[in-house]
Amino acid sequence: MEKTIFEKIIDREISATIAHEDDRCIALHDINPQAPVHLLVVPKDRIARLAEADDAAAPLLGHLLVVARRLAAELSLDQGYRIVINNGPDGGESVPHLHVHLLGGRRMAWPPG
């Protein structure tokens, strides 16, 4: 299976602006930000999309959300932020590697799009 752009970043084959890294995930700045703060929290173990995650992935999925919360606090997103996970083409998925978008720094509209 061909590596995704995220796997290439994790393997340091492509550079990125990294905001956080630990043994389970990496968080990086989106190259096409949709808000003043737009980070992607990406698991190092590839899961194509949320719909393909099994119950054993629950600790990793929880970790991604905890990391997003910590980053939001570090970035002083005290007025709020949005967490987004795109799943499948109709959900806006563009890379077949699960990732959590952390968006903030501006008021978010509803519905989102």
Q: Give the Cα-Cα-Cα angle 9, 19, 50 (nearest 5 degrees).
A: 65
For residue 84, count other CB atoms closer than 10 A to its CB: 16
Q: Which of helix, strand or coil describes residue 40? A: strand
Which residues have C-beta within 8 Å of that of residue 88, sequence separation ≥ 6?
49, 51
Residue of 38, 97, 99, 101 marked active site: 99
Q: Exposed, middle or buried, 98 (CB in 10 Å: 0-12/13-18/19+)?
A: buried
97 is catalytic: no
Q: Among all residues, which ones are annotated catalytic?
A: 99
